[in-house]
């Protein structure tokens, strides 16, 4: 169940970041309010995930997955572009996440 709550943490935090960008510095009140709500959801889900998951691993997976998800969503939603070094470093995050999950499975 902890992994499911961690997934919800990642999704809600990523949504909050996208909504913050859409709020244009909180000028768009609806998007700003939804961003705050999504952050509250994120912390709620993280607290529930930490009941069964190790804090260090959960935080690393949360941060890494959210970073990757926001980077990919930003390409499609905001037409942002990544240069080759950014792509390489994002790939290193993915490699780290795979390694982290593999090492904790054993």
Backbone angles phi, psi at 47, to 5 degrees: -60, -40
With contact defined as beta carbons under 8 Å apart, do 5 and 48 qualify?
yes
Output the six-digit token pair for 41: 């959801």
With contact defined as beta carbons under 8 Å apart, do 5 and 49 qualify?
yes
What does the pLDDT read at residue 49?
97
Domain count, the chain: 1
What does the pLDDT read at residue 106?
53
d(CA 99, CA 105): 10
Residue pLDDT, tens place only, 65-88? 999 999 999 999 999 999 999 999
What does the pLDDT read at residue 69?
97
Residue pLDDT, tens place only, 9-49? 999 999 999 999 999 999 999 999 999 999 999 999 999 99
Domain that holds residue 24: 2-105
With contact defined as beta carbons under 8 Å apart, do 101 and 52 qualify?
no
Cβ neighbours of residue 47 closer than 8 Å, sequence gap 6 or more: none
d(CA 88, CA 14): 21
């Amino acid at each position: 169940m902890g992994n499911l709550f961690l997934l919800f943490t990642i999704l809600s935090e990523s949504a909050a970041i996208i909504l913050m960008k859409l709020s244009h510095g909180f000028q768009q009140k609806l998007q700003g309010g939804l961003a705050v709500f999504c952050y509250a959801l994120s912390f709620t889900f993280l607290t529930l995930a930490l009941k069964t998951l190790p804090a260090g691993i959960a935080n690393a997976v949360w941060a890494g997955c959210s970073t990757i998800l926001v980077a990919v969503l930003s390409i499609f939603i905001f037409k942002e572009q990544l240069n080759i070094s950014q792509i390489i470093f994002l790939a290193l995050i993915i490699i780290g996440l795979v390694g982290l999950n593999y090492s904790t499975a054993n």
